[in-house]
Amino acid sequence: MHRRPAPLLALALAVAGFLGTRPLHAQDWAAMTVEAEPASLALVVGESSALEVRVVDAAGAAVDVPVRFAAPRRSLRVRNGMVEALAPGSFDVVATVVVPADAGVEPPSVRIPVTVTWPAVTRLDVESQAGRLYVGTRLEHGVTGWHADGSERPAPQVAWSSSDPSVARVSPWGTVEGVSPGTATLTASLDDARESVEVRVAPFEVATMALTGGADRARTGDVLTFGVDARSASGAPVEGLTVTWSATFVPDDSIHAPGAAALVRKGRFVGEVPGRYEVLASAGDRVARRTIDVRPREAIREVEFTGQGGVRHVHTSDLWVFEGTDGRDYAITGTWGGDGVAYFWDVTDPASPMVYDSVRVDARTVNDVKVSPDGRWGALSREGASNRRNGVVILDLADPRAPRIAATYDDGLTGGVHNMFATESHLFALSGGDKYVILDMTDLDAPRYVGEYDHPDSRIHDVWVHDGIAYSSEWGTGVVVVDVGNGRWGGSLENPVFVANVPYPVGRTHAAFPYVQESTGKVYLFLGDEILSRDGAAFEGYGSDDPYDPATGEGGVQSPTSGYIHIIDFTDPENPVDVARYEVPEFGTHNLWVEDDVLYVAYYEGGLRVVDVSGELMGNLATQGREMSVFKAFDPLGFMANSPNAWGPQPFKGHVFFSDFNSGLWSVRIVPRDRPIS
């Protein structure tokens, strides 16, 4: 669950006198009009301008009544009488008089058009694709644009030209094609910025061309890597040749009216559905091809229900399963809007989870629970504390059957702690969505501040730490990667150092899970969106009878979830590459876990999803037959009856435990394909 954002509707008061001291009646409210100065705004991204709004009565006299402002929050920020431009486009700020509900009139309002443009680009950097340009071959060019203040222009739409199209012609997207031997200059221009590169076109000398690598047979979702062996008439290798990759497809008998069925990128091919494929590499008038028979992956596995620890009087939040210091297995679950209660379960027998204790803290919600890898200590996050101090509650688990509250730490964490991450000796705790604070847990009774990391102008939702690198999920900012002790970039717990950022400005990066794949040596980063409203049928939720307001995050009627799992190749953290996705369009993701080449996703109303992520990943895993199992937690006695809402999964000792927002703690087992003979 995400932290509710501050309301978009900022409250302002018109500076004026009163309509005397008498109560205002319906005719008074109806007669009011709203005036804005200026009547429209023209801004540049990053620029701010004052906006004055007055409310007047029928006689033109100013009236002192509350006014609130609404604007698209990703494009404009309205605060304290100022409008700040965040993104280009044409938008409206709407100023509306706050009219009592019993007045029975339409609230007077005024619409202020706002036009936002980019600042001028003052510098362009052009990067050429590696390789040589031969007659009949192509090379790509990328462009980065910079504004005068050093900020980057996203996706700059530059104009391309060639000094000699008879030698090299260039497309509007910077793809240059060799036409005849010689030299030409390519120029990219935008606003007042220009940048040129020289290209040399060599004669095409390829006599033979063949594909290398790959395979003749594969399963759906398997990534095959091909190379090209190009040689001249003398048999010498042709160096630096770039080729155009493509694929054709003949479906098997199970598929009718097929759509796009394969991807091929820089020699890497994946077939998403069964059939016979032909991979082609072309350069000039030469073509090399290879036929591949792609068979179904057959990843589906039976899932068995093993047990439920029902929580039916309140919503359940996150969970953590661990082996205690006494050798038994335990779980902690939090509660959402449940007066600060966390439950402690004995799950040594996964078929019979048993509550043996609970802890109540001063909070509206215990959103997150964490336990150190050795099971020695734990932590509960707090949101909505009565004194607004919030912070974290530290648990001494020396005797897991009798958890002891060792300390409460709230310095720098008063804005509410939504999520945390625990290592053997340190706790990373979010502070009101602004930063994460790092605490030394050597002395459980006196946690010690070590350091913190605050990414400017961003909103942090979660953090996960692996190998001294912290991966923080920051909504539209995407994932932010920080050295907190790995050392490669000079970072430490006391001095975190920024490494990289992969932005998703139209997404909601909610959770990140780094995973090292042993079979390929690749480091994959799995990122989950959390989009809690979209067009479609609404469902009741989150404990309120009021309508859900997407602007404030308040209320209890909310549209279905959406979003998906982004998969990034993070093997080189300084050059991350989006390579794959797992998307079930009917639902949206929440928390996730990856272990032993299996992805476990809590997919909200889509239930628990289990996905095969073995081998190199490419394309949409959901269409490749990689989905192994689905389990939806229907509980007729749940807080919301028969309403699955998976929150967080964790594989543990051959079972999968997950929390469900409406019905508590569940345990299931993924059945091996070949059952042992009993």
DSSP string, 359-394: EE-S-SB---EEE-TTSSEEEEE-BS-TTS---EEE
208-295 shares its CATH topology with 303-670: no
pLDDT tens per residue, range 40-82: 999 999 899 999 999 999 889 999 999 999 999 878 999 889 9
Q: What is the mean pLDDT of the chain?
A: 89
**pTM across the whole model:** 0.83
With vertex at residue 127, the alpha carbon angle to CA 287 and CA 237, rounded to the nearest 5 degrees, is 35
With vertex at residue 612, the alpha carbon angle to CA 609 and CA 614, rounded to the nearest 5 degrees, is 150
CA-to-CA separations, 220 to 32, 248, 362, 672, 674, in angstroms, rounded: 65, 15, 51, 20, 21
Residue type, 27: Q
What are the residues whose beta carbons fall under 8 Å from the beta carbon of 378, sequence distance 6 or more?
A: 320, 332, 369, 370, 371, 372, 394, 395, 397, 403, 422
More confident residue, 455 or 303: 303
Q: Indicate the domain borders of the chain.
A: 10-117, 121-202, 208-295, 303-670
The phi, psi pair for 269, rounded to 5°, reads -120, 140
Complete edge-to-edge strand list for the sheet that includes strand 565-569: 509-516, 523-529, 565-569, 577-582, 619-620
Q: Residue 256 carries which DSSP code?
A: S
pLDDT (mean) for 261-290: 93
pLDDT of res. 5: 33
Separation between Cα atoms, residue 122 and residue 120, nearest integer Å: 6
Provide the pLDDT confidence category of residue 260 given band limits of 50, 70 and 90.
low
For the chain, how far is it from start to end, CA to CA, in angstroms? 44
Q: Which CATH architecture has domain 208-295?
A: Sandwich (2.60)
pLDDT tens per residue, range 291-329: 999 999 999 999 999 999 999 999 999 999 999 999 999
Residue type, 595: E
Q: Are 550 and 503 in contact (CB under 8 A)?
A: no
Place of tokens 């030698």: 167
Taking Cα atoms as reference points, which of 451, 537, 527 lies closest to residue 496? 451
Residue 550 has pLDDT above 50, yes or no: no
Q: Are 393 and 447 in contact (CB under 8 A)?
A: no
Q: Domain 10-117 has what CATH class?
A: mainly beta
pLDDT (mean) for 354-360: 97
Q: Domain 303-670 has what CATH class?
A: mainly beta
Looking at CATH, the fold of the domain delimited by 121-202 is given as Immunoglobulin-like (2.60.40)
* CA 163 to mean position of chain CA atoms: 43
Separation between Cα atoms, residue 394 and residue 392, nearest integer Å: 6
- Lookup: tokens for 499: 């490494």
DSSP string, 429-494: EEETTTEEEEEE-SSTTS-EEEEEE--TT----EEEEETTEEEEE-BTT-EEEEESS--TTS--SS
pLDDT (mean) for 206-222: 96
